[in-house]
């Protein structure tokens, strides 16, 4: 009797099925990893931008010579710098994206992230403020993102003028 070498059609079908299931599982894992990685990168960028904005605002206020005006209704703050110049911090619309800016034309937040819910509180009063509370949200306004992928982080700080 002759012994035939080779694989039967059933054995090949089982192997192809197992390889297909393994490939499907691996592609799902890779897709999930890529999506998570993209979301983490986006959140990291938002966090870094928000921390930078808070640091810049705090530095400007702490090093201010005095406060020119503080308007909680308009969410604007004008400070006199140590060189005598006046800097105003406010929310501005830059080509459809809201950004925190100073009147010197310098934006504190990047152009590809949008600032919302910007608020400024001057305490104890608007006429003689000594404490300033800033709060805002930064969002990635990318239209290609799904609603479930929208990334937004809330930032808040309180600071006072140091050089009074």
**50-81 pLDDT, tens digit each:** 999 999 989 888 888 888 888 888 888 888 88
**Number of domains forming the structure of the chain:** 1
pTM of the complete model? 0.76
Largest interatomic CA distance in the chain? 107
Q: Edge-to-edge, what's the strand order for the sheet holding 86-94?
A: 66-71, 76-80, 86-94, 97-102
In a domain, 5, yes or no: no
**89-144 pLDDT, tens digit each:** 988 888 888 899 888 668 888 888 999 999 998 887 666 777 889 999 998 887 66
Q: For residue 26, what are the domain limits?
A: 10-160
Phi then psi for residue 69, to 5 deg, are: -155, 150
Phi then psi for residue 130, to 5 deg, are: -125, -15
As a whole number of angstroms, the distance between CA 47 and CA 56 comes to 14
In a domain, 1, yes or no: no
pLDDT at 152: 86
In a domain, 3, yes or no: no
In a domain, 30, yes or no: yes
In a domain, 2, yes or no: no
pLDDT at 163 over 60: no
In a domain, 53, yes or no: yes
């Amino acid at each position: 009797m002759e012994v035939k070498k080779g694989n039967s059609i059933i054995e090949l079908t089982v192997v192809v099925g197992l390889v297909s299931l393994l490939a499907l599982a691996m592609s799902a894992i890779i897709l999930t990893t890529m999506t998570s990685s993209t979301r983490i990168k986006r959140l990291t960028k938002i966090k870094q931008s928000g921390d930078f904005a808070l640091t810049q605002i705090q530095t400007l206020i702490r090093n201010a010579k005095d406060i020119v005006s503080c308007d909680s209704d308009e969410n604007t703050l004008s400070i006199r710098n140590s060189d005598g110049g006046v800097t105003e911090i406010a929310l501005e619309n830059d080509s459809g994206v809201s950004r925190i800016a100073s009147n010197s034309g310098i934006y504190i937040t990047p152009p590809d992230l949008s600032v919302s819910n910007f608020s400024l509180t001057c305490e104890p009063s608007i006429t003689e403020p000594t404490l300033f509370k800033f709060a805002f949200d930064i969002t990635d306004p990318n239209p290609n993102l799904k609603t479930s992928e929208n990334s937004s982080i809330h930032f808040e700080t309180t600071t006072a003028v140091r050089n009074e």
